[in-house]
Amino acid sequence: MSDPHTIQSGQTAQAKAAHAGPEQDMSHVDAHGAVDLTAGTGAQQMEQDDAATVRIDVPLIAQSDEQGFNDVVSTSRTVPVVAVLWSPRTLNARAALDVLEGVAREYAGRFQLVEIDADASPSIVQAFQAQSLPTVVALVAGRPVPMFQGSALKEQITPVIDELLQVAQQMGVTGAVAVTARDTEKPTPEDHLPALAAEEAGDLEGAIAAWENAIEHNPRDEDAKAHLARVRIAARRSRPSSGDDRAAQADAAFEAGDQEGAFDLLLGIIAESRDPDQRENARVRLLDLFRVAGNTDAVRSARRRLSTLLLA
């Protein structure tokens, strides 16, 4: 994975008309005028005056190709555009797009995200000299701003977006996409629908299988992992258990709001049991509780204790 903070001029987007198809004029994206984020922006980002911001009616997240690329360049004269070249043949391509789409929604129109299928747009791939996919390049006032290649985490992408917006502001590109609340809501992925339908029907075991299938197709789907953990807890709670079943007691304590008590019970099993299956069952249950609870102090403390036990 490329580090989004490492933006190398050798991988700068090139947009030469010589690489463009006969019907596609890309000459207005001039590689010699490429903006380099690594040069630094100097002053801190100024707050934009919402009342004065020009808002244009274009999709927040759009798809484009060689025929529509002139429209992308035109939009970039008002709103910064982040273009991602990707291929459905690339492993985890959909996951990479999901991360970028989530960032676009969070920024609520301060830039437009444009997705370009590299397989269907070879001239654009050549123009930007994309060496690997996905490749992410911004356009500001028609000029390319190299960003990064490869997949990246949200925490890595947002600082680069912030730098891009500073560059855009200095270049006078301070417009925004006109968005509604619906535009910024995260849509339900199609591969989540079978699991959610099974849950609604009360089929917890079917929901578990469906969530596991969604994760198998997209190992980076953290939402699916959180849903799976939640449904597994609910399924365990629906099964009869004896009063001295400490693992079941842990689920009950967690459901009652006693996170630390639940963690202590499961950590106790891992520390005391000599049965590998029992220890593994407790570990899996504990990880489910961690995922549902989130990144709390109690979770961080219990994770440290779990690591110590597993290494002992």
pLDDT digits (tens, 9 = 90+) for 136-175: 999 999 999 999 998 898 999 999 999 999 999 999 999 9
pLDDT of residue 38: 53
pLDDT of residue 285: 94
Query: 36 pLDDT band (50/70/90 cuts)?
Result: low
User: Looking at residues 15-42, what average pLDDT do you find?
Assistant: 43
CB of 112 closer than 8 Å to CB of 79: yes
- pLDDT tens, 250-289? 999 999 999 999 999 999 999 999 999 999 999 999 999 9
Least confident range of 49-53, 131-135, 155-159: 49-53
pTM metric for this prediction: 0.58
Q: How far apart are CA 242 and CA 41, in angstroms?
A: 64
Least confident range of 56-60, 175-179, 217-221, 224-228: 217-221
pLDDT of residue 299: 95
String of b and e for 185-206 (b: at least 16 CB within 10 Å)? eeeeeebbebbeebbeeeebeb
CATH 3.40.30.10 domain range(s) in the chain: 9-183
Nearest to 91 by CA among 149, 131, 150: 150
User: Looking at residues 123-138, what average pLDDT do you find?
Assistant: 93
pLDDT of residue 50: 55
pLDDT of residue 10: 32
User: Residue 81: pLDDT above 90?
Assistant: yes
User: Residue 9: pLDDT above 60?
Assistant: no
CB of 24 closer than 8 Å to CB of 69: yes
- The structural architecture, per CATH, of the domain 9-183 is 3-Layer(aba) Sandwich (3.40)
Tokens of 143: 């000029």
